[in-house]
Each structure stands twice: as structure tokens, then as C-alpha cells.
């Protein structure tokens, strides 16, 4: 049976657990390469504005729905309005899909921790190393299973003794590591083969200063959409996770303040990750090195660590450990959402659900691993990019379902139950909600329009209109 008093012990536990969900490979891997590819400071500026408007709106909506209904996503919408029950079910699909591939990526990160601990950094810097690893039949599955087992164990221990306790240790540690590694990379200097000297501070300039060369309306729109979809993924919104975590928060916790801190933590880590990675890649490979996109983390960075010389291995271990922890707290939040929802639906225990969902996830993730060998294919996605199985799942959850769910949630809150419903929850226990007017405007007008555009664009449907 679902227990009534499951929950975080206090504000700090909630903020760090939610930040744990939000801060993940998205911040440390995706954000820096998007910033590098989307004109540095231009992307940063756009992103910051979006966090304070859209990010804040979506995060507030999810957390307030969770706390007010005291239900996880699958039941929350139906409790508020029986006709909108379908939205809960639709939302449940997102963590279910993400779970299949996030553990695979987590496994890759664990592999690289093992690589550097066993001093094989030189091999990892060779061309083709990453590809030969992910296409191997057994190794990616083994690392995925280790990652998934750890995730399941943390979720098994429950909200306060598992998730909260783990996040309270890991999140401050992560912040410490990222600040340390960033300061170190910024202090670096390297002379390239052609004699040019590049420094960390020059790299920082590339990252921070807006680059408007070749900027057109089309390109700006592209940057806007990149920043928008990054924001969803990064804040873990519109996928039931924050609704579930919101349902674990005590009524007298100040939600406005907590939400501000979660935004700050998530954005702070992303900005720091960029300030660490963009200059590091710039120093050793110039601006060319930053065009590598998704392969940045597993292909370009090992080359950078190798070029760092004696310090490279220590920095690589710190980096991948940080990434591993960030990925773990995120996958814990995905699994918790699935487990909590299934516990409520099937009226069963956490222990049983952890085992069942752990097993199903292992099976599904194994299939995703095989997407690089047995089930290898190359598909063209509607947004024009080449995809394998993992990318297809990522595409369905992030580019298709998330904008759709966000759009429907905005319509539901903005026009059916009205923004006041959320504001009341934000003001519960006498707290003030200073951004209530901004919230109401965003949820009724700005957010649904942008979500609809994002949906049309990322599904390729926009071309037909």
C-alpha cells in the first residue's frame, strides 16, 4: 500500500534532491556543446532569459501540482479534473522511455571512470575507441547493469533514506569538484603545433562573448529552440518527476524560495560546466574542436585530458566521477517516478516495484545497447538528424512528448483550472509568491504558444504549415 508520510525531511533535502534530478548529463555534456555551437554568449543569454521565464513557469507548475494533490503524475491530473486523466498517463510515458536509455549513457560514464582509474587514458584518446566500446556485445551491458543496480538500490531505500541522503552527500561534492576543475582548466595555457599559444581565459571569452557573426533570423530561431529543449531536459520538467518530488514536500516549505534555489543550482552547474569544457577544448583543439557536438564528451575530452599531461588523469577521474554522480541522481529521479506511480497503481510495495521495474529496465536498456550492434540502423529523424535506437528514444521523449505535454499542461493550468490554483499552493502556509503575475502571463499566453512552435518544429510538422 502507498504510505502516507513518505517524504523529504525538509527544505534542504527537497532542494538537493530536485537539483540532483535536474543536474545530470544534460548540464555537463549537452549544455556546453550547445553553447559552443550556438554562438557562445548568445546562447547563454537566451538560455538565462528562458530559465527565468519558461523554466520557472514549468518548474513551478509541476512542483505545485505535486504538492497540492499529494499524488504522483499518473494520478495527479485525474485527481484535479477527471477529464484530464489522460495527461497523467501521457506524462508517465516520458520517464518510462528515458529510463531505457539514460542507464545506457550512465554505463558509458562508468566505463570512462574505470578507464581512467585503470590508467588507460591514452587508449581512450585514440580515434575509434568510443565507437568500438559502444558497439561491443558485452561491455556496454555490464556497465549499464552496474549503473542500473546502483540506481535501484538508492530508490529501494526510499525517499528520505535513499534519495535524500544520497543527494545530500553527492550534490555538494559535485559542486566542489566542478568549481575545482573549472578553476584548473581556466589557468591552463598550451602552445599548438603551429606555434599559436592559447590560454584558458581566451577560451572563456569564446564561451562568454556573444558571437553574432552570420546571425540570421533563422539561426536565432534555431538557437532559441535549442535552448528551449535543453531547458526542459535540464530542469526535468514535463515528465512527472517534479510532480512526484513535489508530492513529497511538506506543506510549510516555502516553494518559491526552493524553486529559485533549484533553478540556481541547475543553471549554475550548467554555466560552470561550460566554463570548464569550452575553454579546455579550445586550448587544445582550437575552435574547430568544439564543433564535435554530442561526441564532445567521450571523444574530444579524452584527447584533451591526454594533452594535459601529468594532471590529465586526475582531472579526468574527477570529471567522470562528477558526471557519474550527476547521472545517478538523475536516473534515481526517473526510476522513483516510475516506482511511485506503479506502487500507487498496483497497490504494491516499494521493494517489489523496484525489483520489477529494475528488471524491465534492464531488458529494455539491453535492447538499446544492441542498437549499436545487432539492431543497428541509421534513420533520418523528422528534424533532419541521423539516429540510432538510443537517439530515436531520446527524440520521442524530448522532442515529441515533452513539448506536447508542456503544451497540454499549460492549457490545462492556464485555461481550465486557472493560474490561481497554482498560486494558492505557492502561497500556502503564508508564504509570498512574488512572481505570480509573471507566472499567470507565462502559463496562459507565452508558454503554450512557444510549446506549440517547439512541437511543430521538432516534429517537422511545421514544414507543412
Chain residues that interact with ligand PFF, rule: CB under 6 A: 21-22, 24-27, 95, 98, 233-234, 236, 239, 241, 330, 333-334
- CB count in 10 Å sphere of residue 376: 11
Residue 259 vs residues 25, 51, 152, 263: alpha-carbon distances, Å: 21, 11, 27, 6
- CB 205 to ligand PFF: min, Å: 26
- CB 266 to ligand PFF: min, Å: 8
- CB 228 to ligand PFF: min, Å: 14
> What SS3 string covers 131-186?
HHHHCCCCHHHHHHHHHHHHHHHHHHCCHHHHHHHHHHHHHHHHHHHHHHHHHHHH
Of 249 and 423, the one with the shorter C-beta distance to ligand PFF is: 249
Q: At what angle do helices 217-235 and 447-459 cross, to 10 degrees?
A: 100
> Which helix (H) or strand (E) covers residue 19, if one does?
helix 11-22
- CB 372 to ligand PFF: min, Å: 21
Of 188 and 243, the one with the shorter C-beta distance to ligand PFF is: 243
Of 59 and 334, the one with the shorter C-beta distance to ligand PFF is: 334
Chain-centre distance for alpha carbon 93: 16
Q: How far apart are CA 274 and CA 230, in angstroms?
A: 14
- CB 95 to ligand PFF: min, Å: 5
Of 34 and 64, the one with the shorter C-beta distance to ligand PFF is: 34
Of 166 and 284, the one with the shorter C-beta distance to ligand PFF is: 166
Of 239 and 413, the one with the shorter C-beta distance to ligand PFF is: 239
- CB 440 to ligand PFF: min, Å: 26
Of 55 and 95, the one with the shorter C-beta distance to ligand PFF is: 95
Question: 342, exposed or middle or buried, with CB in 10 Å at 0-12, 13-18, 19+?
Answer: buried
- CB 401 to ligand PFF: min, Å: 11
Question: 430, exposed or middle or buried, with CB in 10 Å at 0-12, 13-18, 19+?
Answer: exposed
Of 265 and 282, the one with the shorter C-beta distance to ligand PFF is: 265
Neighbour-count burial for 24-41, b at 16+ CB within 10 Å, e otherwise: bbbbbbbbbbbbbbbbbb
Q: What is the DSSP string of 68-133?
A: HHTS-HHHHHHHH-GGGHHHHHHHHHHHHHHHHHHHHHHHHHHHHHHHHHTT-HHHHTSTTHHHHH
Q: How far apart are CA 123 and CA 23, in angstroms?
A: 29
Contact 17, 164 (CB under 8 A): yes
Q: Is 189 left (phi over 0), alpha (psi -120 to 50) or beta?
A: beta
Kindly state the DSSP code that residue 348 receives in the 8-state scheme.
Answer: -
- CB 15 to ligand PFF: min, Å: 15
Of 18 and 206, the one with the shorter C-beta distance to ligand PFF is: 18
Which residues share a beta bridge with 198?
190
- CB 217 to ligand PFF: min, Å: 29
- CB 17 to ligand PFF: min, Å: 12
- CB 423 to ligand PFF: min, Å: 26
Which residues share a beta bridge with 190?
198
Of 280 and 327, the one with the shorter C-beta distance to ligand PFF is: 327
Of 188 and 235, the one with the shorter C-beta distance to ligand PFF is: 235
Amino acid at each position: 500500500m502507498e504510505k502516507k508520510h513518505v517524504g523529504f525531511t525538509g527544505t534542504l533535502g527537497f532542494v538537493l534532491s530536485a537539483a540532483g534530478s535536474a543536474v545530470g548529463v544534460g548540464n555537463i555534456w549537452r549544455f556546453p556543446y550547445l553553447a559552443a555551437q550556438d554562438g557562445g554568449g548568445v546562447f547563454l543569454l537566451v538560455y538565462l532569459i528562458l530559465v527565468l521565464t519558461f523554466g520557472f513557469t514549468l518548474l513551478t507548475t509541476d512542483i505545485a501540482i505535486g504538492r497540492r494533490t499529494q499524488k504522483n503524475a499518473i494520478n495527479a491530473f485525474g485527481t484535479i479534473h477527471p477529464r484530464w486523466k489522460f495527461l497523467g498517463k501521457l506524462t508517465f510515458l516520458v520517464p518510462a522511455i528515458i529510463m531505457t536509455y539514460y542507464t545506457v549513457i550512465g554505463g558509458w560514464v562508468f566505463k570512462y571512470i574505470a578507464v581512467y582509474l585503470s590508467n588507460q587514458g591514452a587508449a581512450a584518446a585514440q580515434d575509434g575507441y568510443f565507437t568500438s566500446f559502444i558497439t561491443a556485445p558485452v561491455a556496454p551491458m555490464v556497465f549499464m547493469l552496474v549503473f542500473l543496480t546502483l540506481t535501484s538500490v538508492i530508490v529501494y531505500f526510499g525517499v528520505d533514506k535513499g534519495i535524500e541522503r544520497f543527494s545530500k552527500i553527492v550534490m555538494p561534492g559535485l559542486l566542489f569538484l566542478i568549481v575545482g576543475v573549472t578553476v584548473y582548466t581556466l589557468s591552463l595555457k598550451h602552445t599548438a603545433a603551429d606555434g599559436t599559444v592559447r590560454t584558458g581565459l581566451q577560451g572563456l571569452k569564446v564561451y562568454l562573448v556573444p558571437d553574432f557573426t552570420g546571425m540570421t533570423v533563422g539561426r536565432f530561431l534555431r538557437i532559441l529552440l535549442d535552448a528551449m529543449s535543453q531547458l526542459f531536459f535540464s530542469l526535468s520538467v514535463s515528465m512527472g518527476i517534479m510532480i512526484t518530488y513535489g508530492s513529497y514536500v511538506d506543506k510549510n516549505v516555502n516553494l518559491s524560495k526552493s524553486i529559485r534555489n533549484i533553478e540556481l543550482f541547475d543553471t549554475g552547474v550548467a554555466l560552470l560546466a561550460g566554463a570548464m569544457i569550452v575553454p579546455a577544448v579550445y586550448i587544445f583543439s582550437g575552435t574547430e574542436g568544439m564543433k564535435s557536438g554530442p561526441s564532445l564528451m567521450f571523444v574530444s575530452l579524452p584527447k584533451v585530458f591526454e594533452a594535459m599531461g601529468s594532471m590529465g588523469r586526475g582531472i579526468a577521474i574527477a570529471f567522470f566521477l562528477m558526471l557519474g554522480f550527476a547521472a545517478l541522481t538523475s536516473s534515481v529521479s526517473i526510476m522513483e517516478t516510475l516506482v511511485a506511480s506503479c506502487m500507487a497503481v498496483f497497490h504494491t510495495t516499494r521493494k517489489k516495484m523496484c525489483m520489477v521495474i529494475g528488471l524491465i529496465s534492464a531488458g529494455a536498456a539491453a535492447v538499446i545497447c544492441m542498437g549499436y550492434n545487432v539492431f543497428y540502423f541509421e534513420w533520418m529523424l523528422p528534424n533532419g538528424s541521423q539516429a540510432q535506437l538510443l537517439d530515436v528514444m531520446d527524440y520521442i521523449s524530448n522532442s515529441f512528448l515533452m513539448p506536447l505535454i508542456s503544451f497540454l499542461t499549460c492549457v490545462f493550468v492556464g485555461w481550465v483550472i486557472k493560474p490561481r490554483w497554482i498560486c494558492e499552493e505557492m502561497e500556502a502556509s503564508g508564504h509570498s509568491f512574488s512572481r505570480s503575475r509573471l507566472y499567470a502571463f507565462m502559463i496562459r499566453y507565452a508558454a503554450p504558444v512557444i510549446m506549440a512552435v517547439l512541437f511543430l518544429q521538432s516534429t517537422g510538422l511545421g514544414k507543412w504549415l
